[in-house]
């Protein structure tokens, strides 16, 4: 498929991720080329609910809540404008960028400030995303709507589309988030004590900013690239056919790719874990069906924390007078919270309606990409990392609360390391994310029974663990082994030591400073 057709295919079907959800006319959004964006503005449109959005300025026109589209090798050169009353940053999650372009929290753009961002997309094709990362404000801003998608394509990606003979509109990029809705309006972010410990969970799902979102697709293959953009909720993604004899049974699909792009070969599944910030690329043959409903199937989310919830400090907030007054993480839980679907409860995500005449569905290609996943050499050094919970300080990485200027982990440029990450038995699931470097999940140990039964891959791994990863879930009591390669491009922008982050992508844990710096020397 050529690029024009690709753009057109995405256009009609993408929604907006910000604005009061009952205003459907506001849901105008488009897939725009990364290279077209001149300015990217983070703005707040509704001071009551605090809803935020990105606006891309393309010179002649503006696109609200853009879905950015780039070919591998393409450049981004835009001014980021912060029109929020809080500091912000724009972090492109999953891309390999220099420290100066990474948009991590140690490099905030003040309210009213601007920053020029210039970089080249070096990563493989895949679904990446961008979101704010200011220390202490990330959860609030992402929940308020500041998250956007970046779809990267390359030759392998386009060859796959051609092999699937995708009809226009049958390829979708979707950000799924959960929100608290009251009388059709999204409630503003106001975490209490328990939210700050377990995460801020919603009761309804948004897909690209819409409640009860639905897309019309044609019979044949549908390719969905899906991001879990929830602050804290894990999803066990599956698809149900409401017209089937058994409405609960799950429709088979194929996993094509994960965080960092296509797998070498597809995997046939009927459900797949998708935790905070993880992505999956799936193909479903919808021929012969009228409708499909994407759901998160019920699972045991294994929250094993007991004891007091720590007061959750937001040191970064204290520098902004109006915010320092607001109490976050201090109020006890209101009674209505008991009705909210807990982490792991079933949740409807979005729907697909199938319309049009059936054509022949081609066979799924047996090979999707040239990805090879060699095991690390036996002498690769292992770094041991421990995730813990402390009743006074909260969740910790190696017993150390984050400090902006800490060194954390020092690694040598181009070094290969195995990271052994052990989560405490008295803990929660933590989706752990490394900036800048894709990694491979080697194996898991200590997974509890209910989750272990969903481990379909060698080494006790889940299907979501395959391929190039940037975020991986650590269940309580688990030990994970990851293979990392700290190679950086040889370009001026990457000269000198580069600082990246390693953190939990449960955004309340991240704001609670469950983070460390990684310095690449």
Q: Which residues bind ligand C2O (CB under 6 A)?
A: 91, 93, 131, 133, 277, 433, 435, 501, 503, 505
Q: How many residues bind Cu ion (CB under 5 A)?
A: 6
Q: Which of 327, 103, 55 is nearest to 196 (CA)?
A: 327
Q: Does 275 bind Cu ion (CB under 5 A)?
A: no
Which residues partner with 177 through β-bridges?
206
Q: Of these partners, ligand C2O, Cu ion, none, which one is at the site of residue 506 (CB under 5 to 8 Å by kind)?
A: Cu ion
Nearer CB in complex with Cu ion: 219/476: 476
Q: Does 504 bind Cu ion (CB under 5 A)?
A: yes
Site string for Cu ion, 81-110 (x = CB under 5 A): ------------x-----------------
Going by C-alpha positions, the residue among 385, 401, 410, 345 that lies closest to residue 474 is 385
CB-based contact 368:254 (threshold 8 Å) = no
Per partner kind, with CB cut-offs from 5 to 8 A, the member of ligand C2O, Cu ion, none near residue 509 is Cu ion
Give the residue from 263, 292, 255, 312 showing the smallest Cα distance to 509.
Answer: 312
Contact 473, 451 (CB under 8 A): no
Q: Which does 44 bind (CB under 5 to 8 A by kind): ligand C2O, Cu ion, none?
A: none
The verdict on 435 binding Cu ion (CB under 5 A) reads yes
Q: Which C-beta is closer to ligand C2O: that of 53 or that of 433?
A: 433
The CA distances from residue 58 to 28, 44, 53, in Å, are 15, 20, 16
Q: Which does 131 bind (CB under 5 to 8 A by kind): Cu ion, ligand C2O, none?
A: ligand C2O
Q: Which is nearer to Cu ion, 277 or 463 (CB)?
A: 277
Residue 499 as a binder of Cu ion (CB under 5 A): the answer is no
Q: Count Cβ atoms below 10 Å from residue 151 Cβ, excluding itself.
A: 23
133 binds, among ligand C2O, Cu ion, none (CB under 5 to 8 A by kind): ligand C2O
Assigned token pair, 338: 């008991």
Q: In angstroms, give the least distance from the CB of 402 to ligand C2O.
A: 12
Judge contact between 42 and 146, C-beta under 8 A.
Answer: yes
In the complex, what is the shortest distance from the CB of residue 507 to ligand C2O, in angstroms, rounded to a whole number? 9
Nearer to ligand C2O, 94 or 202 (CB): 94
345 φ, ψ (degrees, to nearest 5): -75, 155
Q: Considering the rule CB under 5 A, would residue 295 count as an interface residue with Cu ion?
A: no
Compute the distance between CA of residue 115 and CA of residue 109 in angstroms, rounded to an integer.
7
CA dihedral of 397, 402, 404, 406, whole degrees rounded to 10: -60
Q: Which two tokens stand for residue 297?
A: 């199937």
- Rounded to a whole number of angstroms, the minimum distance from the CB of residue 508 to Cu ion is 8
Q: Which stretch binds Cu ion (CB under 5 A): 258-266, 268-276, 299-307, 434-442?
A: 434-442
Report if residue 196 touches Cu ion, rule: CB under 5 A.
no
Encoded tokens for 10: 């995405």
Among 430, 444, 461, 516, binds Cu ion (CB under 5 A): 430
Phi, psi at residue 394, to the nearest 5°?
100, -150
CB of 395 to Cu ion, least distance (A): 5
The answer to whether 98 and 115 have CB atoms below 8 angstroms apart is no
Note whether 503 binds Cu ion by CB under 5 A.
no
Paired tokens of 406: 């800490």
509 in contact with Cu ion (CB under 5 A): yes
Asked if 279 touches Cu ion (CB under 5 A), the answer is no
Decide if residue 434 touches Cu ion (CB under 5 A). no
SS (H, E, C) 442-502: EEEECCCHHHHCCCCEHHHECHHHCCCECEEEECCCCEEEEEEECCCCCCHHHCCCEEEEE
Residue with tokens 């663990």: 465
- Partner from ligand C2O, Cu ion, none contacting 262, C-beta within 5 to 8 A by type: none
For residues 277 and 175, the answer to whether their CB atoms sit within 8 Å is no
Which residue, 93 or 254, has its beta carbon nearer to Cu ion? 93
Instruction: Give which of ligand C2O, Cu ion, none residue 516 binds (C-beta under 5 to 8 Å, depending on kind).
Output: none
Nearer residue to ligand C2O within complex by CB, 223 or 433: 433
Residue 122 in 3-state DSSP? coil
- Which of 106/320 has CB closer to Cu ion? 106
Cα(467)–Cα(259) distance, integer angstroms: 8
- Name the residue nearer to ligand C2O (CB basis): 385 or 451: 385
Report, in Å, the least distance between residue 489 CB and ligand C2O.
20
Q: In this chain, which stretch among 58-66, 157-165, 233-241, 423-431 interacts with Cu ion, using CB under 5 A?
A: 423-431
Which of the choices ligand C2O, Cu ion, none does residue 430 contact, using the CB cut-off of 5 to 8 A by kind?
Answer: Cu ion
User: What is the DSSP secondary structure assignment for residue 243, as one 8-state letter?
Assistant: T
What is Dmax (Cα atoms) for the chain? 62
What residue ranges bind Cu ion (CB under 5 A)? 93, 430, 435, 504, 506, 509
């Amino acid at each position: 498929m050529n690029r024009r057709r690709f753009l057109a295919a995405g256009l009609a079907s993408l929604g907006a991720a910000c604005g009061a959800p009952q205003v459907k006319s506001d849901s105008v959004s488009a897939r725009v080329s990364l290279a077209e964006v001149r300015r990217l503005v983070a703005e707040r449109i509704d001071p009551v609910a605090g809803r935020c959005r990105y606006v891309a300025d393309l010179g002649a026109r503006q696109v609200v809540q853009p879905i950015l589209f780039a070919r591998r090798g393409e450049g981004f050169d835009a001014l980021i404008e912060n029109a929020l009353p809080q500091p912000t940053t724009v972090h492109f999650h999953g891309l390999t960028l220099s420290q100066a372009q990474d948009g991590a929290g140690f490099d905030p753009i003040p309210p009213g400030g601007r920053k020029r961002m210039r970089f080249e997309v070096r990563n493989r094709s895949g679904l990446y995303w961008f979101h704010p990362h200011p220390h202490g404000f990330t959860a609030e801003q992402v929940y308020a709507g500041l998250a956007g998608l970046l779809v990267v394509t390359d030759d392998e990606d386009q060859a796959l589309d051609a092999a699937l003979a995708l009809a226009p509109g049958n390829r979708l990029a979707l950000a799924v988030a959960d929100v608290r809705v009251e009388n059709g309006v999204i409630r503003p972010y106001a975490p209490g004590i328990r939210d700050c410990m377990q995460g801020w969970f919603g009761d309804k799902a948004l897909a690209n900013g819409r409640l009860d979102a639905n897309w019309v697709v044609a019979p044949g293959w549908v390719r969905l690239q899906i991001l879990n953009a929830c602050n804290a909720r894990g999803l066990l993604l599956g698809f149900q056919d409401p017209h089937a004899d058994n409405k609960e049974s799950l429709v088979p699909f194929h996993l094509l790719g994960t965080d960092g792009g296509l797998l070498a070969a597809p995997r046939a599944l009927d459900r797949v874990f998708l935790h905070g910030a993880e992505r999956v690329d799936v193909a479903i043959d919808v021929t012969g069906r009228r409708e499909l409903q994407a759901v998160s199937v019920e699972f045991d989310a294994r929250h094993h924390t007991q004891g007091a919830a720590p007061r959750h400090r937001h040191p970064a907030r204290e520098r902004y007078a109006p915010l320092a007054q607001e109490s976050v993480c201090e109020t006890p839980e209101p009674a209505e919270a008991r009705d909210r679907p807990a982490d792991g409860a079933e949740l409807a995500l979005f729907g697909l309606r199938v319309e049009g005449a059936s054509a022949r569905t081609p066979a799924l290609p047996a090979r999707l990409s040239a990805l090879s996943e060699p095991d690390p050499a036996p002498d690769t050094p292992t770094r041991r990392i421990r995730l813990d919970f402390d009743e006074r300080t909260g969740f910790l990485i190696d017993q150390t609360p984050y400090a902006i200027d800490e060194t954390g982990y020092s690694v040598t440029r181009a070094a290969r390391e195995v990271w052994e990450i052990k989560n405490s038995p008295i803990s929660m699931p933590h989706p752990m994310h490394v900036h800048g470097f894709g990694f491979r999940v080697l194996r898991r140990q200590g997974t509890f029974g209910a989750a272990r039964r969903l481990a379909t891959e060698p080494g006790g791994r889940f299907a979501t663990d395959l391929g190039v990863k940037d975020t991986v879930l650590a269940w309580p009591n688990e030990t994970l082994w990851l293979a990392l390669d700290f190679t950086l491009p040889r370009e001026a922008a990457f000269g000198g030591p580069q600082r990246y982050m390693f953190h939990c992508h449960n955004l309340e844990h991240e704001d609670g400073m469950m983070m460390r710096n990684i310095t690449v020397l």
